[in-house]
């Protein structure tokens, strides 16, 4: 077995990426404090070709050196918008017929492994602050809440790990024929 060289990876240009079909998912970052986490989520979102990222509250915005350190240029390929208030972002997405889904440990949450997104629907997935999770204001407005099953002692994944798990799951379920 041999690792592929960079020129063998068939990477698309930023322009081609902007024009390609996207996963019908928007990522909302609800007051994510770490710039490295923000950059990593940009990079992960690029990898799964999400529609866009919405940054809310205290979440840092590009251009920022610490975001770019982990984004590796994904802030150029993934469309992003900033809203001071997560409730306003959710209201705007609701007018566009998005299903609003929190990724959180909560009463009546649905297990990620059993959640079945519809290919006929668009989703806004809310990932919250590293300490406090998805804000109470946002939780009051969601259509569903997904929880990632965990079996260790911590019952907590880093937000970037959570985003990677959930975005892969949505990609696999919505684009089985990729």
Q: Which residue carries 């998005």 as its tokens? A: 98
Classify residue 129 by its DSSP letter: B
CATH number for the domain spanning 47: value is 3.40.1280.10
Per-residue model confidence as pLDDT tens digits over 85-106 = 999 999 999 999 999 999 999 9
Per-residue model confidence as pLDDT tens digits over 74-88 = 999 999 999 999 999
Say if 4 falls within a structural domain. Answer: no
Number of domains in the chain: 1
Q: Which of 89, 86, 62 is nearest to 76 (CA)?
A: 62
Per-residue model confidence as pLDDT tens digits over 6-39 = 899 999 999 999 999 999 999 999 999 999 999 9
Banded model confidence at residue 178, pLDDT cuts 50, 70, 90: very low
Say if 8 falls within a structural domain. Answer: no
Per-residue model confidence as pLDDT tens digits over 119-162 = 999 999 999 999 999 999 999 999 999 999 999 999 899 999 99
pLDDT at 177: 52
Q: What angle do CA 43, 110, 167 make, to 5 degrees?
A: 15
Say if 38 falls within a structural domain. Answer: yes
Range of the domain at 116: 20-148+156-174
Helix (H) or strand (E) holding 42: helix 35-47
d(CA 93, CA 125): 11
Say if 69 falls within a structural domain. Answer: yes
Model confidence at 56: pLDDT above 80:
yes
d(CA 175, CA 178): 5
């Amino acid at each position: 077995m041999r690792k592929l060289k960079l020129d063998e990876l068939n990477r698309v240009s930023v322009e081609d990426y902007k024009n390609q079909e996207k996963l019908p998912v928007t990522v909302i970052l609800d007051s994510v404090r770490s710039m490295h986490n923000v950059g990593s989520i940009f990079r992960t979102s690029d990898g799964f070709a999400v529609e866009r990222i919405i940054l809310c509250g205290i979440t840092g915005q590009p251009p920022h050196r610490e975001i770019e350190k982990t984004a590796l240029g994904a802030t150029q390929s993934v469309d992003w918008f900033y809203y001071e208030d997560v409730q306003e972002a959710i209201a705007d997405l609701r007018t566009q017929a998005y299903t609003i889904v929190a990724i959180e440990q909560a009463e009546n949450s649905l297990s990620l492994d059993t959640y079945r997104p519809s290919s006929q629907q668009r989703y806004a997935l809310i990932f919250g602050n590293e300490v406090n999770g998805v804000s109470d204001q946002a939780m009051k407005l969601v259509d569903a809440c997904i929880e990632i099953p965990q079996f260790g002692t911590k019952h907590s994944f880093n937000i970037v790990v959570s985003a990677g798990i959930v975005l892969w799951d949505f990609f696999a379920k919505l684009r089985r024929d990729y």
